[in-house]
Amino acid sequence: MCIMESLVGKHIVLGITGSIAAYKSAYLVRALIKKGADVQVVMTPSAKEFIAPLTLSTLTQKPVVSEFFDRRDGSWHSHVALGQWADLMLIAPASASTIAKMANGIADNMLLTTYLSMKAPTFVAPAMDLDMYRHEATTDNLNTLKSRGITIIEPGNGFLASGLEGKGRMEEPEAIVKHIEAFFSKSQQLGNKKVLITAGPTYEAIDTVRFIGNHSSGKMGIALAEAFRDAGAEVTLVLGPSALPDPECVHCIRVTTALEMLAASERPFKECDIAIFSAAVADFRPKKAFQGKIKREMQQDPLIIELEPNPDIAATLSAQKRSDQLTGGFALETEVNVLEAQRKLKSKQLDFIVLNSLSEAGSGFGVDTNRIRIIDKEEKDPIVYPLTDKKEVARQIVDFVVGKQAHAY
């Protein structure tokens, strides 16, 4: 049984601003890393007056980001990539000036551009003297941030209540970490649920060295397995040939062919609450795989490979579905063909289907992004999502499933 530290695998962007409390950031980074988080520090230029970037890059084992360009080689630091990478952004300490700029959408340093591109929830731990903190401009700015869903961590609303005299002072690092842990454990909406995911391609042998396959990398299915795991589910991932490593704390069964994928999925399907079929399964396999390598010289006439159909894993398992189980599939189309996806949804007896199309740039095989439409068997119109990172797409699918589950009970 794999025990996850509460922040294992969580990507946290830690923004540090120019405040005397910046010295506490080193303790904060250490505490986050100890809980298993992967931390990327982004500093404002004035933060560097208070704490050396070297201290932070040594702790995180990653270069600190503070400029738009790397001074050494001129390479561009992408705030957009950081916004997509992060599961959470924490700005601690957050000075009055940074809070004011955040409230007003000012983007004159790397930390602020990262904040404006952030796709993940943001937490702010203010740090300033009491008069600045009490000023109505600061109060207004903090209220603006709150109204945008940003969580403000202050002494007194924390786990280590420090009394009113602490206002304006940055909350202690251990208490900040407790806030972050509480946030992630609240998002464990699928605790006690078992989830089966099929992913990747299948390879069907023509001879000992050749196969029929497709371009699936396994990225989408692995992102799904991680997103369901992060929502508290116990996940079994049946994964076809993929160069990617097994995701942490997921029961990963590696298979090669469609027949193996079906066999490996049968038992976990019986035990699961939710099954998502994201694999790109070869619909046909050579009737007989040639032992050895077929040589050009052996062929007088055109080479004919006789194919036979593979089982449809999604349809076979969904046909055995209990009323308390939820099944979802994917439809990969060359056009945005909602009607075809609806046909697959019905014929495979699925509860929902996720349509992605190769005609939309950045979608489908191999790439890190995807654009999906979810078609629910109960609804007429698809839910249309924007193009985004596959990790975010996976979270969108988890949210959809959580919504369906809430509806079911």
Binding site for ligand PMT (CB under 6 A): 198, 200, 216-221, 258, 277-281, 283, 310, 312-314, 329-332, 344, 348, 356, 364-366
Helix (H/G/I), strand (E/B), else coil: 117: helix
In the bound state, the residue with its beta carbon closest to ligand PMT is 329
Q: Which is nearer to ligand PMT, 43 or 314 (CB)?
A: 314
Quote the least distance from Cβ 220 to ligand PMT, whole Å.
3
CB under 8 Å to 88, separation ≥6 — which residues?
A: 10, 11, 12, 13, 120, 121, 122, 123, 180, 183, 184
324 is in an annotated binding site: no
Quote the least distance from Cβ 266 to ligand PMT, whole Å.
13
Among 233, 191, 230, CA closest to 395: 230
Q: Which is nearer to ligand PMT, 174 or 399 (CB)?
A: 399
- Taking the C-alpha atoms of residue 341 and residue 383, their distance in angstroms, rounded to an integer, is 13
DSSP per-residue codes, 320-349? T--TT-EEEEEEEESS--HHHHHHHHHHTT
- Taking the C-alpha atoms of residue 376 and residue 149, their distance in angstroms, rounded to an integer, is 29
Catalytic residues: 214
The one-letter code for the residue type at 14 is L
Quote the least distance from Cβ 132 to ligand PMT, whole Å.
48
Quote the least distance from Cβ 131 to ligand PMT, whole Å.
53
CA distances in angstroms from 158 to 15, 161, 164, 294, listed in the order given? 20, 6, 12, 69
The backbone torsions φ and ψ at residue 199, rounded to the nearest 5 degrees and listed phi first, read: -155, 165
Among 44, 25, 156, 48, CA closest to 97: 44
Residues 201, 255 contacting (CB under 8 angstroms): no
219 is in an annotated binding site: no
Residues 238, 224 contacting (CB under 8 angstroms): no
70 is in an annotated binding site: no
- Taking the C-alpha atoms of residue 328 and residue 350, their distance in angstroms, rounded to an integer, is 6
- Taking the C-alpha atoms of residue 149 and residue 153, their distance in angstroms, rounded to an integer, is 13
Quote the least distance from Cβ 260 to ligand PMT, whole Å.
12
348 is in an annotated binding site: yes
287 is in an annotated binding site: no
Quote the least distance from Cβ 281 to ligand PMT, whole Å.
4
User: Nearest 10 degrees: CA dihedral of 303, 308, 314, 317?
Assistant: -150
Quote the least distance from Cβ 404 to ligand PMT, whole Å.
17
Residues 118, 87 contacting (CB under 8 angstroms): no
CB under 8 Å to 297, separation ≥6 — which residues?
A: none
Helix (H/G/I), strand (E/B), else coil: 96: helix
Residues 232, 211 contacting (CB under 8 angstroms): no
Q: Which is nearer to ligand PMT, 196 or 332 (CB)?
A: 332
Q: Which is nearer to ligand PMT, 135 or 343 (CB)?
A: 343
Q: Which is nearer to ligand PMT, 168 or 200 (CB)?
A: 200
Q: Which is nearer to ligand PMT, 15 or 221 (CB)?
A: 221
- Taking the C-alpha atoms of residue 125 and residue 91, their distance in angstroms, rounded to an integer, is 6
Q: Which is nearer to ligand PMT, 88 or 224 (CB)?
A: 224
Instruction: Write out the binding residues for CTP.
Output: 283, 293, 330, 344, 348
Instruction: Write out the binding residues.
Output: 283, 293, 330, 344, 348
